[in-house]
Structure 1
Amino acid sequence: MKKFSKIGIVGFKDKSADLANALDQIADWAVTHPKVEFFALDSLKGLAKKPIHVIKESGLSRMDLLLAIGGDGTVLSAAHIALGHNIPILGVNAGRVGFLAESRVEGLAKTLDDLLAGDFSTRERMMIDAVVYRGRKVVARQTVLNEVHVRAHMPDRMVNVNVAYNGTCLTEYWADSLLVSTPTGSTAYNLAAGGPIIHPSTPAVVLTPVAPSSLSVRPLVLSLTDKKLEIVSAVERPLDLVFDGRTAYEMKVGEKVVLSECKAVTTFIRMRHTGFVGALREKLGWTGKPRLA
């Protein structure tokens, strides 16, 4: 059974009214469990109380577990901290609609008790490696948990891109923008853009054009297992690549981005009372057929 003796806390105090409550619960719990140390991201300085330590982001890469307290954006930040360090993440929902932050602030002390007792499971989420080439030279590289968003560099312009799948021309997209989302990202911007929800264990990505010019263009689900997607501008204009809604790169004319399945995964802690199917019903308000009076 995995032991958690050093737990990192990721949160942003301007993002959630419940964050202070969660930190207070953790501080109280830590007093009675001195063998477990807590280290909070330095953005929480002034909010995290003793015995919680405040450290820089680089220090969180040495944790046994990351607690991401907030919404899905906070969980994404934790995932980027954990990348390459094999650190599991537990999302604690202190936001609005969060599919990644499954646990609740209420009862956080009980959640910590369950963690200590080993009453949890883990699940792995696929990621996408995005590599930008200028000729044969690699000029940019990012790994994403949610999506790669391809949009026009100039404001109020549409994107016109050619997409190839495993070396074969797939189609030309002309739309406001184009999303390439993982199953994790399928419940984020992809869902708002009308794309399908993909179960987290499905090894696939979905291409979703945002407001396409052609009615025949629809979201497309593809496997990336041992396959690649290649995206290049179909016109002499630069594009912006936005990675997980956080980092943007200006892809210049003549450059291309190649997307493949990342060999690493993001590992999430799943408490016994949570699950993806339940989250769909709760967060999307699925009620089934109308009940008769």
Structure 2
Amino acid sequence: MPSNAPSRPAVSRQRLPLRFAHVVIVGKYHAPGSRKAVDEIAHFLQDEGCVVSLEEQTALNTGLTNFPALSVAAIGAQCDLALVVGGDGTMLGIGRQLARHGVPLVGINQGRLGFITDIAFEDYRDSLRAILHGNFEEDSRALMAASVWRDGRCVFEATALNDVVVNRGGVASMIELRVEVDGHFVANQRADGLIIASSTGSTAYALSAGGPLLHPGIGGWVMVPIAPHTLSNRPVVLPYTCEIAVEIVSGRDASANFDMQSLTSLLHGDRIVVRKSEHALRLLHPSGWSYFDTLRKKLHWNEGG
């Protein structure tokens, strides 16, 4: 006997709209297993409806040819989101370059610590799916614009996300540095060196040298001496609106490095000037992310009894 009940309409399985439609992957391409990880994540993104590209060096070194390869400039012009698969060093390298383009970055950790690449690889599917659809926390990180001046001329420029470090060479002797803040003399310091770190870099070399942890919500730098001759020479927290100048007074083979990736040799009288960059890094984290959760996990707080 035929039923008079109306037939049910077909259920539509329409995708939710994507917040980030075009995603580029930047990989730690020299690490074991990175090719497989990048390829797996790329296909996951495609299944979620994203257009997927690879950063050109990632594509070249992984040998993955089934996705378009983009330069940094092309990423800035075309992509909505950069997905960094690696460690904090990978994030630092690409983050400095993409900050000027305003492209947000998400980090999937395949390194050791992962303070800014904070999504564990085994959790990437749920975390990424939520972020792609707009469920995330955004975190802005200040960058440093650094320059080296010699005889009134700028001879070197670099951008740093973590820190600017002035230190002695391989000889077993201290260097003497004259430090100024906003043109005001602070002190002549004899030490193995001096670290000027951002809040992001406060968990790196500055922490090892006895500096404080600086919450990323604080707009400041931390200035940390390395093995100072005068033990009362302590770390100082400064607003990032100030300009810091460090002059090489004496010592052999002094050098400056910027995020431990750019290096230049220094002469007596050279001045290293650090100020806030006009660009900032946009980091995206899973919803509910907390800076203190990161510290507790990475620094192994609350362990032991």
- Report the TM-score, using the length of structure 2 for normalisation: 0.85
Aligned pair partner of 1:84 in 77, 84, 100: 100
Q: Is the aligned partner of 1:130 residue 2:183?
A: no
Q: Please say which of residues 42-51 and 103-112 is displaced more in the overlay.
A: 42-51
Match of 2:100, SS state, is coil
Alignment equivalent of 1:277, drawn from 277, 288, 292: 292
Which amino acid in 1 is paired with 2:254? L
Q: Percent identity?
A: 28
Instruction: Give TM-score, length-normalised by structure 1.
Output: 0.89
Structure 2: distance between partners of 1:46 and 1:180: 33
Q: 1:39, 1:53 within 8 Å by CA — same for their partners in 2? A: yes
Shift of 1:153: 4.3
Equivalence for 1:181 = 197
Match for 1:164: what amino acid?
E
| Cα deviation code 1:197-255 (max 9, x no counterpart) | 10011111111111112221111111131x21111012275631100110011232322
Could you tell me which runs of 5 or more consecutive residues in structure 2 were left unpaired when the two chains were aligned: 1-16
SS at match of 1:83: helix
> Contact (CA 8 Å) 1:66, 1:78: kept in 2 or not?
no
1:203 corresponds to: 219
Q: Compute the displacement of 1:34 (Å).
A: 4.4
- Match in the other structure for 2:136: 120
Cα distance in 2, alignment partners of residues 155 and 109 from structure 1: 50
- Identify if the C-alpha distance between structure 1 residues 29 and 50 changes in structure 2 by more than 3 Å, giving closer, same or farther: farther
- Please report the RMSD computed on the Cα atoms of aligned residues, expressed in angstroms: 2.4
The alpha-carbon deviation at position 139 of structure 1 amounts to 2.0
The 1-side partners of 2:271 and 2:240 are apart by 18
Answer with 1 or 2: which has the greater Rg.
2
Q: Mapping of 1:105-254 within 5 angstroms?
A: 105-153=121-169, 155-225=171-241, 227-235=242-250, 237=252, 239-254=254-269
In structure 1, what is the equivalent of residue 282 of structure 2?
Answer: 267
Q: Deviations over 1:105-137 (max 9, x none)?
A: 113222331122111121101111112222432
Conservation of the 8 A alpha-carbon contact between 1:8 and 1:41: no
Are the structure 2 counterparts of residues 3 and 248 from structure 1 closer, same or farther at C-alpha, using a change threshold of 3 Å?
same
Cα offset for 1:48?
Answer: 6.2
> Structure 1 residue 256 and structure 2 residue 271: aligned?
yes
Q: 2:37 aligns with which of 15, 19, 22?
A: 22
